[in-house]
Amino acid sequence: MTLSGRHFVAGRAEPGEGEVFTGVDPIGGGALAPDYREAGAGQIDRACAQAGAAAPAYAAATPAVRATLLRGIADGLEALGDELLQRITAETALPAERVLAERGRTRQQLQQVADLLAEGSWVDARIDHGDPARRPQPKPDLRRMLVPLGPVAVFGASNFPLAYSVVGGDTASALAAGCPVVVKGHPAHPGTSELVGAMVTEVVRAQRLPAGTFSLLHGRTPATGGALVRHPAITAVGFTGSEGGGRALFDLAAARPQPIPVFAEMGSMNPVFVLPRAMALRGSRIAEQLAASATLASGQFCTSPGMVLWLPGPGAGTFAAALRTQLGASRPGPTVHATIRSGYERVLAEVRALPVAVHAVATGGDAAATKVCPTLLAATPDAVLAHPRLRSEIFGPALLAVPTHEPADLLAIARSLPGYLTATVHGDGDDFEQHAELIAVLRRKVGRLIANGVPTGVEVCASMVHGGPYPASTDARFSAVGTSSITRWVRPVCWQDWPHALLPEELRDDNPRRIRRMVDGVEQ
């Protein structure tokens, strides 16, 4: 397909109306054709208005129809073949192996929510039959299930051009829930977004769904995103990115005449705690594993480990030395765009102005325009407690080492932590029992507790929780990954004393969809 800088507004391919921008080669720094223009106010309005117009019909589409759409998108992603892979590599500098893996993950996400629709029980149907003879008041017949919220605005992420972008987890789960989607593609990879957006538009057309079911808008200014969030047809927002960006959208949504939910996943420090027996038995191996995780893909994962804490004792010195060796020997690499590099360098400068030592900095690597150097920093427990900046994410290949003096230090730091996506604890023997209070504190701080592993590598499955207390996300009750992510885009509705023939199939007594339900307090 020849890229031409197109937006896709409710089935129509058209050029933008605002200022020009392009994708940029992260290695050489040069512009990548074609030119893209910022979405105009009229395009934003039409995309949202058409999504609103499509919402009733798309919500009424059967689960089978929605599942067919999702499977069609998954197949279309594969059919884009090498053209898509090559454009992603050109726009992000991600290696081919990583891009292939991400495509596989994205297809898996689409197929999993399609399977969820086919099974059907996710709507959480509950029935309490009426009893008109009950005294002193008759009991009404009550039936409830989850229904779509309406049009969802999805903001693509820069570091995952497929899995958190045009057809990533937010789009897949929103379409599965029965919500039309308006995507604002990330300006770091507009060509990738155009390729995928054109494919989705064609799948929607081929399946004769309402044109407003899907739109893709390009833009790099806050005004474009702000106009999208403020549009009255939009009923919810999905975002993956920085805390500043997510909070700005959250505040805009809250200030609307009719506020709407923003489900923003905004990053994390992801601390790692190495307990004494684990340190003594395998400290060097843990250091190698941790360094590899922290530098993976130049640290461009919201789940990259950013802090490691340990107690004095056997193996601690060897662990610290191995960590310095591993980080120092790592190769600098490119980021997906220059803003990540500049942000990394800015935050490192902020951190180094505090009571922090620099223990290792990787050197060499290629001459990429967006190159970042893995860095090992060190701070005392007192410094971490005194300076909130040391408890905040450094997005990139940096790791803060915090050797502590006693278990009370670990507890004090754990209690001071804000919300994170993950916390990891390495333990052997009775480590976990001896530090049960620490683990209890960490459970209150994160969405995912990891034993004897690393936080990178987010499995896409029903039990995954990718979220956490603020500022890891704006709503800790939900996950941005896995089939449970569909529950962000729905709300419960109750039908009271409704004519049986007019009830949704999921709530009828004969249960034609054969789904699991709660009936009169008993799961059936």
CA 295 vs CA 120, 242, 272: distances in Å: 41, 19, 15
State the catalytic residue, choosing from 48, 179, 302, 373: 302
| Three-state secondary-structure class, residue 292 | helix
Look at residues 310, 302, 312 and name the one whose alpha carbon lies nearest to residue 286. 310
Look at the block and give the residue holding tokens 């990330």.
Answer: 186
- Whether 322 and 284 have beta carbons less than 8 Å apart is answered as yes
Q: Could you count the other beta carbons within 10 Å of the beta carbon of residue 199?
A: 22
What CA–CA distance (Å, rounded) separates 163 from 159? 9
Least Cα distance to 366 among 329, 333, 327, 408 occurs for 333
For residue 302, indicate whether it is catalytic. yes
What letter would DSSP give residue 215?
Answer: E
Question: Phi then psi for 179, rounded to 5 degrees?
Answer: -105, 125
CB 12 within 8 A of CB 42: no
Measuring CA to CA, which residue among 168, 277, 284 is closest to residue 216? Answer: 168
Q: How far apart are CA 225 and CA 217, in angstroms?
A: 10
Distances (CA, A) of 50 to 9, 46, 182, 202, 215: 8, 6, 10, 17, 9
Q: Catalytic residue among 91, 194, 265, 506, which?
A: 265
- Going by C-alpha positions, the residue among 287, 309, 303 that lies closest to residue 412 is 309
Contacts of 205 (CB under 8 A, 6+ apart): 11, 211
Residues annotated catalytic, as ranges:
265, 302
